Structure 1
Amino acid sequence: MTLLDKLNEDMKQAMRDKEKEKLSVIRMLKAALQNEAIHQGVKDLTPDDEVTVISRELKQRRDSLSEFEKAGRSDLSDKVRSEIVIVEDYAPKQLAPEELENIVKATIEEVGASTKADFGKVMSAIMPKVKGKADGGAVNQFVKKYLS
């Protein structure tokens, strides 16, 4: 079952259950996936492309959440927080910090990095491995920790 199929099924269920917020988020995700397919000029997105779109939507919401919290807009931050929970249902399972740390250590050994100058090389090797499964900021922190 593709992600679009799952979204369609969940959208129907949300309509039946009269869950307006969930329905809205699912429609937004569907639109984002369809827009990406149109942008790429393909009929169906690859699973990697789907993960990229879902990760982008999740990141946008997390960024919005931090901005709303800084501005003291609890009404908007609550709404975005609930949207994040719904979008996370469609994102790949996130790596635990320990798993991510092990991947970072292994990748640093793989590329033979030893100084902060190797930061870019390490990041470019790690990110494809953890695409959609870990936040770039968390990866960044672990890489800095082990290259300092």
Structure 2
Amino acid sequence: MSLADQISDDLKTSMKARDTIRTATLRQVLAGIKNLRVQEGRGGTDVTDEEVTEILTREAKKRRESIETYTQHGRDELAAKEQAELAVIEDYLPEQMGADEIRAIVTEVVAATGASQPGDLGKVMGQLMPRVKGKADGKLVNRIVREQLGA
């Protein structure tokens, strides 16, 4: 069963259980999948699990940014709602890499590219991001690369 089908089935289950947050969140994800199908001109053909993971990653990033903003402005009730939605989305994402795992890959890529100064950030990130795509938060990866390059 594809990831898109699993999300669709879980939407039906959450609707029957009257789980409003899960239902609303899964509807937003499915809307993103439908938009991708329309943009690509696929009609009825399905999207790949990698494309669904990209959509989920994008949605998770939006939630994290919203949580940060709401928390900074004292809107804890809105931050709690976004946190609940983020938890639903994270159920479908691959397990995220820890900082130590990211550091090991960054060290490997820095050595392979010969990067040694902060100006080499783009070269390192270009090689690194495809390897950690969907498995690590981009901000964390960027911060670790900057630490390694002494920026």
TM-score band by shorter chain is over 0.9
Tell me how far apart the structure 2 counterparts of residues 71 and 59 of structure 1 sit (CA, whole Å): 19
> Are 1:97 and 2:93 an aligned pair?
no
- C-alpha distance in structure 2 between counterparts of 1:44 and 1:99, whole Å: 33
d(CA) in 2 for partners of 1:123, 1:75? 36
Distance in 1 separating the partners of 2:31 and 2:24: 11
Counterpart CA distance in 2 for 1:41 and 1:91 is 26
Q: When the two structures are aligned, how many residues end up with a matched partner?
A: 148
Offset at residue 40 of structure 1 (A): 2.0
Q: Percent of aligned positions with the same letter in both sequences?
A: 35
| Length-normalised TM-score, structure 2 | 0.93
Post-superposition offset of 1:64:
0.8
TM-align CA RMSD: 1.1
Secondary structure (helix, strand or coil) at the match of 1:12 reads: helix
- Displacement of 1:65 in angstroms is 0.8
Unaligned stretches of 5+ residues in structure 2? none
* Contiguous gaps of at least 5 residues in structure 1: none
* Pairwise CA distance, 1:44: 2.1
> Hey, what does 2:15 align to over in structure 1?
15
Per the normalisation by structure 1, the TM-score is 0.95
What is the CA–CA distance in structure 2 between the aligned matches of 1:134 and 1:144, rounded to whole Å?
16
Instruction: For residues 23-63 of structure 1, give each alpha carbon's deviation from its aligned partner in whole angstroms, at most 9, with x where no partner exists.
Output: 11111111111111211223322222222111110001111
- Counterpart mapping for 1:70-89 below 5 A: 70-89=72-91
